[in-house]
Structure 1
Amino acid sequence: MEITLEVGKEILAQQSFSRLLGTELVKFEKGYAELILEIKEDLKQNNGFAHGGVVSYMADNCITFAGASVLGACVTSEYKINYVRPSIGERLIAKAKVLHAGNRQSTCECKVFVLENDKEKLVAVALGTISKIQAP
């Protein structure tokens, strides 16, 4: 797989859930990916900040893109997420990098930020294992 932003955007466009949410891939290079998502009213929970599931989705999808940049076609095999503050702001920004890559899996971390008044604030940190899809 060629690692270009255009290729990454084509892959994201094939994900109906990502299209539904309005996710954008803004960086995709070897070992790194970055996604953004506007926090619309229907993505907020009852207290007015981005739902934890939306924040978790951003981390999961971003670590998978980072992993794919070194493995090719892959899926998340596991991840954990720590929420550090409510996501109150205009948009979510997920930034993931590969910490280690082998032949079949990579370990990636993602930091999710909220953009509020032109300042990024950390809202969550995730660590995950991304596994290469093996041909049948």
Structure 2
Amino acid sequence: MQTHDFARRVQESFARQTMMQTLGARVVSVAPGRCEIAAPILPGARQHHGVGHAALTFALGDTAAGYAALTLLPPGNEVMTAEIKINLLAPAAGDRLIARGEAVKTGRRLSVVRAEVFAETDGAEKLIALLQGTMIPVPAGP
């Protein structure tokens, strides 16, 4: 599969994710087995302490990990999360979050993935969460 093909598939799938649009997220980079997604910590995505909500952290990490798995699957497939675990290491305090997903092992039926999520302030990154999970391939929709 050519680089353009999987990058295009990720971008097209991402464009259909209305939640990512709501969060102001964008795909920063895509490579075989890797995907990076970033989003600002918008006022509507904060929790009661004023930092990014854990749901924002989870959504970005899950999505980056899923697309990392997708880059290694043949055309005609997409992925869905079968299970994923998150360790929240620090509050999501900063200007934006950056999620870096990686496919650890991809097979015909399961892909093991992980992601790191960083809070960024003035260009400095702080690791705030680790995710690890399993994605399953599903047929691509219309």
Q: TM-score, normalised by structure 1?
A: 0.93
Runs of 4+ in 1 over 3 A off after TM superposition: none
The superposition leaves residues 65-121 of structure 1 with CA deviations (integer Å, 9 ceiling, x where unpaired) of 111111231111100000000011000000011111111211111000000121110
Q: 1:34 aligns with which of 22, 33, 36?
A: 36
The answer on 1:3 being equivalent to 2:2 is no
1:120 and 2:119 aligned: no
Structure 1 match to 2:111: 106
SS in 1 for 2:65: helix
Q: Note the C-alpha offset of 1:130.
A: 0.7
Aligned-partner Cα distance in 2 for 1:53–1:17: 11
Alignment partners' CA distance in 1, 2:139 and 2:36? 25
Give the Cα separation in 2 of the matches to 1:101 and 1:85.
Answer: 29
Are 2:26 and 1:21 equivalent residues in the alignment?
Answer: no
Partner Cα distance (2:85, 2:6) in 1: 26
Q: CA deviation at 1:134?
A: 4.8
- Counterpart CA distance in 2 for 1:91 and 1:109 is 20
- Percent identity, aligned pairs only, is 29
Contact 2:10 2:70 in 1 (8 A): no
**Residue-pair matches, total:** 134
Amino acid at match of 1:97: E
Secondary structure (helix, strand or coil) at the match of 2:49 reads: coil
Q: Which stretches in structure 1 are left out of the alignment for 5+ residues?
A: none
Report the residue type matching 2:45 in the other structure: L
User: Offset of 1:14 from its aligned partner?
Assistant: 0.6
Task: Give distance in 2, aligned partners of 1:78 and 1:24.
Answer: 23
Distance in 2 (CA, whole Å) between partners of 1:31 and 1:40 is 29
1:134, 1:90 → 2: CA distance? 36
Task: Write the letter of the residue equivalent to 1:115.
Answer: E
Could you list the runs of 5+ residues in structure 2 that have no partner in the other structure?
none
